[in-house]
Amino acid sequence: MIEVAEKRALHERIGSELTARIRSGDWPPGHRIPFEHELMRQYDCARGTVNKVVQSLAAAGLVERRRRAGTFVIRPRIQSAVLEIPDIEAEITRRDQVYRYELIASRLHAVDVDDADTALMGPGKQVIAVQCRHFADSRPVAYEDRVIDLDTAPEAAAADFTKQGPGAWLRTHIAWTQARHQISAINPETDVARQLDLTTTTACLCVKRWTWKAGAAVTFVRQVFPGDAYDLVATFSPGAG
């Protein structure tokens, strides 16, 4: 028990020290934080401890991990809390438009520990990755890239995502208990722009969402919408803060 407590204390101390350097401006936006092997040497700790610290900084929106380049401090972004998980099909039909879903690809694989978004599900976890598009009439209005944790939702491995989107499937199979949203304005990457029939200079809204069930990861999804095809609406009561 003492050894576990010491490891936990070290993880928290490293995270606190790195966070302080970022929030103080000592490490400004764009600054590359030390590589993991440098932090391991500095704090005389295991790679797993350092990796956990970096993942927590990424989850807090303080840094981003770039494959083969390192981990960099990012500029703080304004975040908006969304209280409901939207049903894209229901929203499109509510607007008296014809909804259509299209599967692009799906495959089984292990979580990539270098991907800060999906690494939160846990290293080595088996997931099913699904890429798809949502249409309103004949126009693509959402590109979706999703992973589902097969420990929490093993039935997803055999689901037929050619006929039903992964979000709709999850709503009828898994009851989540906790969710986190991250919303940002972006210009789409080349492949995403192509899927949405846009240019790479088009303003888009990117919604990232993580859901858990009793502390166990359920899914991570990244959805990209053309800026003129998505409304962000939240209802608040007096004194909501």
Would you tell me the crossing angle of helices 2-23 and 47-59 to the nearest 10 degrees? 50
Whole-number mean pLDDT of the chain?
84
67 & 95 share domain: no
Residue closest to 210 by CA, chosen among 123, 81, 118, 145: 118
Q: What is the CA radius of gyration of the chain?
A: 20
Considering the domain boundaries, does residue 236 fall inside one? no
pTM: 0.64
69 & 93 share domain: no
61 & 158 share domain: no
User: In the structure encoding, which two tokens stand for residue 59, read together?
Assistant: 């989850």
Residue 24: give its domain's CATH number: 1.10.10.10
CA distance 147 to 167: 10
51 & 92 share domain: no
Confidence of residue 125 (pLDDT cuts 50, 70, 90): confident
Which position has the higher pLDDT, 151 or 91? 151
Considering the domain boundaries, does residue 241 fall inside one? no
Considering the domain boundaries, does residue 179 fall inside one? yes
Considering the domain boundaries, does residue 145 fall inside one? yes
109 & 206 share domain: yes
pLDDT in tens, 11-61: 788 988 998 888 788 898 889 999 999 999 999 998 888 888 888 888 777
189 & 121 share domain: yes
Residue 171: give its domain's CATH number: 3.40.1410.10
Residues facing 132 on adjacent strands: 103, 144
Show Cβ contacts of residue 143 under 8 Å, excluding neighbours closer than 6 positions.
131, 132, 133, 188, 192, 195, 196, 223, 224
Final residue in a domain of this structure, among 23, 46, 73: 73
Residue 106 and residue 130 in contact, taking contact as beta carbons nearer than 8 Å: yes
Considering the domain boundaries, does residue 238 fall inside one? no
224 & 108 share domain: yes
pLDDT in tens, 130-184: 999 999 988 999 999 999 999 999 999 999 999 999 999 998 998 888 888 888 9
pLDDT at 81: 44
Confidence of residue 3 (pLDDT cuts 50, 70, 90): very low
CA angle, corner 183, sides to 177 and 185, nearest 5? 165
- What is the domain count for the chain? 2
Considering the domain boundaries, does residue 80 fall inside one? no
25 & 141 share domain: no
CA distance 14 to 233: 38
Considering the domain boundaries, does residue 16 fall inside one? yes
> What's the mean pLDDT in 70-96?
72
Final residue in a domain of this structure, among 27, 42, 73: 73
112 & 9 share domain: no
109 & 203 share domain: yes
pLDDT at 124: 76
94 & 182 share domain: yes
Distance set, CA 208 to CA 13, 35, 89, 153 (Å): 28, 26, 18, 20
Residue 33 lies in domain: 2-73
